[in-house]
Amino acid sequence: MSKRVAVSFAAMLAATVATFGVPAFAAANEPIQPIEAVKSNNPGLIELGKKLYFDPRLSKSGFISCNSCHNLSMGGTDNLKTSIGHNWQQGPINSPTVLNSSLNVAQFWDGRAMTLQEQAGGPIANPGEMGSTHALAVEVLRSIPEYVQEFKDVFGETKITIDEVTKAIAAFEETLVTPNSRFDKWLKGDKKALTTAELEGYELFKDSGCTACHNGSAVGGNTFQKMGVVEPYKTNNPAEGRFAVTKEEADRFNFKVPTLRNVALTYPYFHDGEAATLADAVDVMGRIQLGKKFSPDENAKIVAFLKTLTGDQPSFALPILPPSTDQTPKPRPFD
């Protein structure tokens, strides 16, 4: 009972945010707001960050880049249940999208990094991901004159530090927003942007209570919530959620509510990657978060609505990376 109260309080909160936090042009009483394109004010920093994001030499193997697991040609994910790390290690958890990650309240499923910059240092030195060290990654960059010059142009006189590396990557990530989805066009007043079935799906999404947790411009990403409010969620994945960060019993199995922006591209779903399709994910959410069993028709309409959340994907020329030199530490893919 108390759990249901929590959800309806969240719904009230969402409604309050919707009433007061919305730009005048948007459909003012909707719990979801449009995503706006970002204006970049430091193109040099962003260009550098883009190179680093695509550079596999930040990994020990010389083979894994941020883009390996957050592939910008595939919705910013790897479309695997859990990721593949250094030396083909099985990753512990599903890779969330980097698209619109700047809108998250914190980074990671359990929110253990507060900012994109703090997050970016993690994978480079994680033995199960890129398997390098910050010292080695910086040594690689320092051995490449074009990088030395580019860091100098962006940061002034510098020896290249991991702090600058993560700052540049985060600046690039902040540009990875996806405006102009059909749903946003509808929010901004283009009533023809959605079909009847999609609109009915949106009404179901709201009326069923999904917007209690999936709201705001990212349609999620702004709170931590229990996975399994009404019914427990069964999984073999050992992740404990927010509890791992706060050690508060009340946070056990609370996960950051994922953004539903571009969700048609970011399969498979949930922190364990166990829901293969959107239809599965919607069915599980209905049952275990809200105690609702959707008919096949209702499920299909909600899925149709969710597919309207795909926005403009990042688009730019593939960065060409400066070549290594004789001094560059050699890649070590197999140890």
Q: How far is CA 13 from CA 21, 97, 313, in A?
A: 11, 26, 30
Between 187 and 302, CB nearer to ligand HEC:
302
Q: Which of 31, 75, 286, 311 binds ligand HEC (CB under 6 A)?
A: 286
Tokens of 97: 């999208």
129 is catalytic: yes
Separation of alpha carbons 282 and 297, rounded Å: 12
Instruction: Please identify which residue in 62, 75, 91, 131 interacts with ligand HEC, judged by CB under 6 A.
Output: 91
User: How do strand 89-90 and strand 84-85 relate by DSSP bridges?
Assistant: antiparallel
Beta strands in 205-250 (DSSP E): 224-226
227 is in an annotated binding site: no
Out of 69, 99, 140, 187, which residue is the one contacting ligand HEC (CB under 6 A)?
Answer: 69
Stretch that binds ligand HEC, among 22-30, 132-140, 153-161, 258-266 (CB under 6 A): 258-266
Instruction: List, as one string, the DSSP characters of 147-186.
Output: HHHHHHHHHSS----HHHHHHHHHHHHTT------HHHHH
210 is a site residue for ligand HEC (CB under 6 A) = yes
Is 285 labelled a binding residue?
yes
For ligand HEC, the closer CB: 24 or 318: 318
- The verdict on whether omega for the bond into residue 31 sits within 30 degrees of 0, i.e. cis, is no
Window of 40-48, 189-197, 208-216, 322-330 that interacts with ligand HEC by CB under 6 A: 208-216
Give one DSSP letter per residue of 281-312, joined into a string.
Answer: HHHHHHHHHH-----HHHHHHHHHHHHTT--P
Q: Pick the catalytic residue from 129, 198, 200, 274.
A: 129
CA 139 to mean position of chain CA atoms: 29
Closest to ligand HEC by CB, 93 vs 304, is 93
Rule CB under 6 A: say whether 83 interacts with ligand HEC.
yes
What dihedral angle (degrees, nearest 10) is formed by the CA atoms of 36, 37, 39, 45?
120
- One of 54, 109, 186, 202 touching ligand HEC (CB under 6 A): 109
Are 124 and 130 within 8 A, CB to CB?
yes
- The residues of the shown chain that bind ligand HEC, judged by CB under 6 A, are 7, 64, 66, 68-70, 83, 85, 91, 93, 95-96, 98, 101, 104, 107-109, 116, 119-120, 123-124, 129-130, 169, 205, 208-210, 212-214, 225, 227, 229, 255, 257-258, 260, 263, 266, 269-271, 281-282, 285-286, 289-290, 302
Binding residues for heme c: 66, 69-70, 86, 210, 213-214, 285
